[in-house]
Amino acid sequence: MVVLAPRRQGAGLMLGLNPRPRPAVARPRPGQIAVVTGLYAVAGLNLIPHLAPAVLGYFYLLLGYRAVATRLPRLEPGRWILLPLALVGVILVYRHYGTLVGQEGGSALLTLLLALKLLEIRSPREVRLLAMLFAFWLVIHFLFDQSPWVALLLGALLILDMAVLADSSRRLPWPPRQVFALALRLSLQALPLTLVLFILFPRLDAPLWSFLPTEDQARTGINDWLEPGSVSELVLDGSLAFRVRFEGPIPQAEGLYWRGPVAWNTDGRRWQAARNDQFSGLAAVPAARSGDPVSYEVSLEPSRQRWLFALDLPLGTPGKDAHLTHDFQLLAAEPIKETRVYRLTSAPALDTGDLPEAQRTAGLALPANVTARMRALVAQWAAGSPAPAAVVQAGLRHFNQEAFYYSLRPPRLGDNPVDEFLFETRKGFCEHYASSFALLMRIAGIPARIVMGFLGGERNPLGAHLIVRQSDAHAWVEVWLEGQGWTRVDPTAAVAPERIEPSPELTGLASGRPLRLRIGGVDAWGRLVHGLRLFGDALDENWYRWVLGLDRARQQALLERIGLGWLREYGLAVLMVMASSLVMGLLLVALLHQPASARPDPLERLYRKFCSRLARAGLPRKASEGASDYGRRLALWHPGLAAGFLAFTERYARLRYGRRPVGRGDLEPLRRELQATLGMLRKARR
């Protein structure tokens, strides 16, 4: 909130500036305004990716004005400057967000209002107010990013903010090291209670920020359509797609096909998912599985899409808010707008049974741009053996033995990309091989469809989990064979290894994709950087797993580990209150047993020295006696020293309880009076 304080009349009011600092109001000590402004400036850097550039630019413009006004107090703004500045901020926020509330609009408005409040600092009280508001402002940063790195940065800034708050609350200046030590000590004292509340507080099923309205933003990821270039562009994105924890050992990389959208329809260039009414009434057919099932847990990053990726093929759904389609695609009820954790079980091999007529029709549909030489190629394969399995193997041999190249940057293709790829360019990525192979299989009378998802992943030895990045995006083909059902075929893997063109852009993204990318030659520096990336990923994964993702189920699992699994909501609340009371009681006992003379301020040390000398002289200060009363009693005890006693105690009382902050220059006269008074006392006692 921007508080507009009245200004004195005159030319300064006409200009909206303060003509000179008001002597009646105590000013903050030098450096306090600069430190508070610096804290806001550093914390604002974390909002650069999340707020509009114009809003952040105006924020730093106001901070710059604050810095100039600190050096030149005559430029401090009055109400006639603050009012238009505030109006400009409101208009700027509304123009970019169309609202003054919500996650982004409200955060932007609060940020600008705090910058305007910084322009009104005139007293130590306002420094304390801005320091307290800074702590609340840091909370909105977690609405945009909850990573451990942001938490570490904001935690350090919060400790510095506590140091500013402690320094502005004292009338005597402390050395910066001593102020920072006090803030750090207070933070450490609060840590036990924080841990007790964090572990024992009854959890919700989702974090609090997940209940806030979120803006729909585009997010890079797998699409529900496929055409040349759609996956190869995605492979240049090394951002995280999801993490996986297996209950047992991680399967071999060749079996790590992460199933996503399934494309059925094609116009000869683009493959798309089925229409909503195309397979109405069909459901996933219970399949006969072979091999040991694999159980795992997926932490899926927000994608703004509905599909949930699963190891090929899933045996069920992760909950009531998801369903398994007829083509074994997992779909959530709502788009994934926050990190979602789900558990699944998959089988390495499945017999999907008979082929429904609707799937057979869709799996054999051909576009209008099928050429004669494409049909001739298929006829050549079938001439050796017309059996569907033999035709599939003939197609794979064709890609392996002919001069086909795996390239991330293939030549551009025209209106008939499959024909041009097969007979002219012969350079492509997985979308080229999958789309051409699926179309050739349909020409041969074999039902085929394309599955899009991810292949492989990188094992993080520090976290014992699998990292699947956007750069692991892949597309493969499924053909229906009698007696086997839908069978996975990866034509991209058939390309001979010596015909894989290296791509320097992928050097930093390679992550154990033996079927597609074999990148070596990483030097020691590259291994060091890669190791740091793995360390950061392990920290991120555990941060989400045990901090952000500590929901009710994880909390219960943690309590069972420490022998408190029998507790439920009410018992947990009672234990939380008891443990919190115990922690605070122990802390109180520790504070009460601290020495009374633990680090007093310089003013207090001088007064204690005075009282100690008088106590040894036979006239100690009473516990209920103030400095002025003590001085008057001393004056009656020894009228010859009354002037010295009264001068010292009155000066001490003015400094201790006066409105003006105590500076280092105020202590020297008090120290001289103390020495003079004690010297006269020694002479009098002789």
Range ranked top by mean pLDDT from 4-13, 470-479, 584-593: 470-479
Q: Please state the pTM of the whole predicted model.
A: 0.67
Question: Catalytic positions, please?
Answer: 430, 474, 490
Helical H segments across 50-147, by residue range: 53-71, 79-97, 103-118, 124-141
pLDDT by residue (tens digit) across 118-145?
A: 998 888 888 889 999 999 999 989 888 8
In the chain, the percentage of residues whose pLDDT exceeds 70 is 83
| CB distance 300 to 309 below 8 Å | yes
State the pLDDT at residue 230. 62
DSSP letters spanning 444-495? TT--EEEEEEEE--EEETTTTEEEEEGGGEEEEEEEEETTTEEEEE-GGGGS
How does residue 168 score in pLDDT terms, banded at 50, 70 and 90? Answer: confident
The overall longest dimension of the chain from CA atoms, in Å, is: 129
**259-280 pLDDT, tens per residue?**
999 999 999 889 998 887 888 7
pLDDT at residue 59, as a whole number: 95
Out of 54-68, 153-167, 231-245, 605-619, pick the least confident.
Answer: 231-245
Rounded Cα–Cα distance for residues 64 and 59 (Å): 9
Residue 220, pLDDT score: 44
Sequence-distant (6+) residues with CB within 8 A of 664 are 173
As a whole number, the mean pLDDT across the chain is 81
Higher per-residue confidence, 465 vs 9: 465
What φ, ψ does residue 273 adopt, rounded to 5°? -65, 160
Among 242-246, 558-562, 639-643, the range with the most confident prediction by mean pLDDT is 242-246
Percent of the chain at pLDDT > 90 equals 29
**Mean pLDDT, residues 468-476:** 88
Q: Is the pLDDT of residue 158 over 80?
A: yes
Look at residue 214 in the predicted model and tell me its pLDDT. 47
